[in-house]
Structure 1
């Protein structure tokens, strides 16, 4: 399953294209640079996965309970590692051709038109959804940092530093967005590798702070591990929403082919080698972040934990303030990782379909418009927990848990009841169940949050 041509011309179709078409491919974000190292794959994948999701895992545990919670975490880790391996393998399954984008693999598996309609809407929902949630996360974490530094009393709302004033979360989301109006003009994945590395380091740092501080704090007085909801209906809906939270935490699949596209490939050394090496390192880091935060956070606070564990922790103030700042730096990198494939789609349509000339101004206007859109939506509906549950189930479950398995069955056609056939069908059944139930819980949570919310508060 190697590939027959190196570097930028690894896709044989490029050889038949005009100079203009080659120039366009060299300009588009995904195909413009193919000199990434294996460790780029590692920190891009860490940045893509360990994000807002890890902070909600103790809250998800409080809605799942000990037994189901641990089981869902472990199963998700194993299933998503397996489906990620499938995608890495399928990137160069056709000799001489590379599937540089998720939808290109979908088109190969399901047909030119159907593949596009199956993959693109779901991938866009995931990537745009993540960017909106990260706008909210960045704004919330900035506000928390500001309030901690200013010595805000969580009970009275009074600042110990008299020069400080209460600032709306909306403004902090705008401050967070202002960074992206600059960073979004970095041309491709390799150009954001420095931002991504910083983000990956930050994710490990704030995850460690979250569980270590929880452990140091010790179990809170009168801790309860029972379900928070007072009714059976509420408990069931919360359980569904928590499944979406966990699904949201494993979202790297939506950008994995685009990341692999940046790695050079030859028949002797296909890109799947270094890519898989990076993925293994990334998944070890994911385990080191997810499991301690989820289990220790829930053990410490029980069902009183908030949907972002750093909002639950107050002391030591300087450490929690620093952790919130780390979150901000991390979600800056994560936003860029998920925005890059969206930029690629937008620019492909503008240049190839609408025949705009590739230029700085085209990129400037289209990318700024996208950043402004995600900022505006984030300011309107900052329901962090509900958004995680809703997006996690609605789109992350298909693209992460079972779409790679369907593609694998469609392309490789393993023998019925073989190990590969059974494994893929188990993943598909689990993923479809997740896709059906978790958006129901997430949507209910959004509706409940909306009751007490004023627009642009």
Structure 2
């Protein structure tokens, strides 16, 4: 969903900084992905022992203490993504209703609360969370990829059409300097720039899944060689698309670029509805993929702690016709635990329904540690690069710069959330 915020991010940075920042983030992501590809095996990249997950690689190279920190960060990132998916899906549901309302030429009464949409998304997520091994289904990944390509392409196509119909390139070198014809302060401008950096970081935060992808590869050639080629092709294509949609979206909307680019279009309403439906379908599946590792972690810990409690041993068997097993086993304890977790996530989403601010917060909190810090630390450990060596200084310098940028983005996103809460009533937000 990070692609939806790129036009807004470029608008905050302007025509010079916007494309440059996108290129810098893509370059850093590509470089650290190369380092990470070599860490799939331990202690050396060709004949070492396989690490099937990102956390397994961290444990092998950096030890249990770093594993604990990595686990906290990774699960927090997953949960934060669940919050953002709830907000984004609710926005898309609301946009479908709103665009249909506007299409009927109803100029008033087309503003709707997102709370009901979030409750609906949460209810769907609770039902799907009870399906065993849903996140492992191959078709789920294929569907997510198709839906993501679909709504991204529609967003780009609508932006191109709007830009061509206007006949000019909008925006400015310095980016947004006013809001609703009122000049914004230098402090507000700075916070929005920082928030934009977090949004871009969110779009490029996927390092934690690269090891899992590499684990599916067969050799020869060695997995790291194949993965490096895949990283180059994937990040190159992604970066070209990101820069294209970010810049064309900015050219079309100028400094009025919406936080979620699809919310800027009303016509053709049927195409906008299709794009928003694609987003909902994509995020319904992605939500489960991100939720299941967290759910499994908490369930395993709770069940092991109260193993003697009979409540956690109750199993209901339900007959399900037209299936291979003819039955489905359900544990009441899991129903309660999973429902409670998703309800809590939905409540947090309703309390902080700020699309760009939440994306910026997640991107800022996860990009530096998961995309930069741990891959660099594992590389230094693997290659046994001496402390104080030129390469040691260069890699730590890169890590430090990314830390400063992400910290600034984190502060900017926090400021944006606080500012949003000042102008809205919690749980009663129309947006």
**Does 2:186 correspond to 1:232?**
yes
Gaps of at least 5 residues in structure 1 are 1-51, 160-165
Specify which of 303, 309, 314 is matched with residue 255 of structure 2: 303
**Does 2:78 correspond to 1:115?**
no
1:373 Cα deviation after fit: 2.1
Checking the alignment, whether the CA contact within 8 Å between 2:92 and 2:279 is kept in structure 1 is yes
Instruction: Please give the per-residue CA displacement for 1:38-97, whole angstroms capped at 9, x wherever unaligned.
Output: xxxxxxxxxxxxxx2111111111111122111110111121122223223212224663
Q: Corresponding residue for 1:253?
A: 207
Q: Corresponding residue for 2:54?
A: 102
Checking the alignment, whether the CA contact within 8 Å between 2:354 and 2:420 is kept in structure 1 is yes
1:154 Cα deviation after fit: 9.3
Gaps of at least 5 residues in structure 2 are 179-183, 316-329
SS of match in other structure, 2:5 = helix
Distance 1:409 1:178 in 2: 46
Distance 1:194 1:201 in 2: 10
Instruction: Please give the per-residue CA displacement for 1:334-366, whole angstroms capped at 9, x wherever unaligned.
Output: 323322332343344345666577975255444
**Does 2:367 correspond to 1:367?**
no
**Does 2:160 correspond to 1:215?**
yes
1:264 Cα deviation after fit: 6.5
Checking the alignment, whether the CA contact within 8 Å between 2:171 and 2:250 is kept in structure 1 is no
Distance 1:199 1:281 in 2: 20
Specify which of 285, 298, 322 is matched with residue 333 of structure 1: 285
Distance 2:336 2:229 in 1: 37
Q: Corresponding residue for 2:91?
A: 140
Structure 1 residues 208, 357: CA separation in 2 closer, same or farther (over 3 Å shift)? same
Distance 1:269 1:347 in 2: 39
**Does 2:273 correspond to 1:321?**
yes
**Does 2:392 correspond to 1:447?**
no
Please say which of residues 438-447 and 348-357 is displaced more in the overlay. Answer: 348-357
Q: Corresponding residue for 1:25?
A: none
Instruction: Please give the per-residue CA displacement for 1:100-136, whole angstroms capped at 9, x wherever unaligned.
Output: 3333333333322x21332122112211111101100
| Alignment RMSD (CA, Å) | 3.0
Please say which of residues 173-182 and 271-280 is displaced more in the overlay. Answer: 271-280
Please say which of residues 67-76 and 429-438 is displaced more in the overlay. Answer: 429-438
Structure 1 residues 104, 60: CA separation in 2 closer, same or farther (over 3 Å shift)? same
SS of match in other structure, 1:65 = helix
Q: Corresponding residue for 2:35?
A: 86
Specify which of 176, 192, 199 is matched with residue 144 of structure 2: 199
Distance 1:171 1:439 in 2: 29
Structure 1 residues 126, 278: CA separation in 2 closer, same or farther (over 3 Å shift)? same
| Pairing 1:276-425 to 2, within 5 Å after superposition | 276=228, 279-280=231-232, 282-350=234-302, 355=307, 360-361=330-331, 363-414=334-385, 421=392, 424-425=395-396
Q: Corresponding residue for 2:409?
A: 438
Q: Corresponding residue for 2:400?
A: 429
Q: Corresponding residue for 2:113?
A: 168
Checking the alignment, whether the CA contact within 8 Å between 1:83 and 1:400 is kept in structure 2 is yes
Distance 2:30 2:132 in 1: 29
> How many matched pairs?
397
Structure 1 residues 351, 199: CA separation in 2 closer, same or farther (over 3 Å shift)? same
Distance 2:144 2:368 in 1: 24
Structure 1 residues 421, 342: CA separation in 2 closer, same or farther (over 3 Å shift)? same
Checking the alignment, whether the CA contact within 8 Å between 2:198 and 2:413 is kept in structure 1 is yes
Instruction: Please give the per-residue CA displacement for 1:394-445, whole angstroms capped at 9, x wherever unaligned.
Output: 2332212332112221332236787864663343123211222111111111
1:177 Cα deviation after fit: 2.3
Distance 2:118 2:128 in 1: 16
Instruction: Please give the per-residue CA displacement for 1:219-245, whole angstroms capped at 9, x wherever unaligned.
Output: 758944242352211111111111111
Structure 1 residues 269, 346: CA separation in 2 closer, same or farther (over 3 Å shift)? farther
Please say which of residues 54-63 and 409-418 is displaced more in the overlay. Answer: 409-418
Checking the alignment, whether the CA contact within 8 Å between 2:12 and 2:192 is kept in structure 1 is yes
Specify which of 176, 180, 195 is matched with residue 241 of structure 1: 195
1:202 Cα deviation after fit: 1.6
**Does 2:22 correspond to 1:73?**
yes
Checking the alignment, whether the CA contact within 8 Å between 1:148 and 1:321 is kept in structure 2 is yes
1:187 Cα deviation after fit: 4.2
Structure 1 residues 420, 179: CA separation in 2 closer, same or farther (over 3 Å shift)? farther
